[in-house]
Amino acid sequence: MRGIADGPDSFPGRLCRDYALQVLVVHNSQAADSATVLNAYLAAHPDIPAANMFDLNNTNIVGKADITYTEFVNNIRDPIRNYLDQAGGPSAESIISILLIRGIPHRIQDTDIPGVGDNPPQTELETFTDVNGDDIPTAVIAPRRAWTPS
């Protein structure tokens, strides 16, 4: 398999034809910056065919950095899967890389600890004794404490 700038059909900074067919570029036309970033990317990589560009066209995710897992499945994962399952375009088997253009949330919220992300809770190690009498360290989520100078 050939990749970035590694053959007679490519030069530094450009994708070779084989690799360009294996990239799916996903953007959201409902996000303000999406078209600008998409156009700049495509100008730098003109070998990517139009069939390898997918527009989510979704207002539900505009302006969100974090989304729930359910929002991810409904608004990003399943639409991409459905697009790749359609006849006439790229297939899931032919795509090795999916590029998400600005305007698509970049983080899925933790399902066990909501709100973790930019402000994760502190963890503390505790030990418990298993059935064989061995002490096993385990991380325990502890509430964030205010720092006070000593």
Tell me if 20 sits within 8 A of 47, measured CB to CB: yes
- The contacts of residue 8 (CB under 8 Å, 6+ apart) are none
The predicted pLDDT at position 106 comes to: 84
* 103 secondary structure, DSSP code: S
Strands 135-142 and 122-129: antiparallel
In the chain, domain spans:
17-108
Strands 107-108 and 135-142: unpaired
Instruction: List the chain pLDDT tens, one digit each, 150 residues.
Output: 344 444 444 444 455 567 889 999 999 999 998 999 999 999 999 999 999 999 999 999 999 988 988 999 999 999 999 999 998 889 999 999 999 999 999 888 877 766 665 555 555 555 566 667 766 655 444 444 444 454
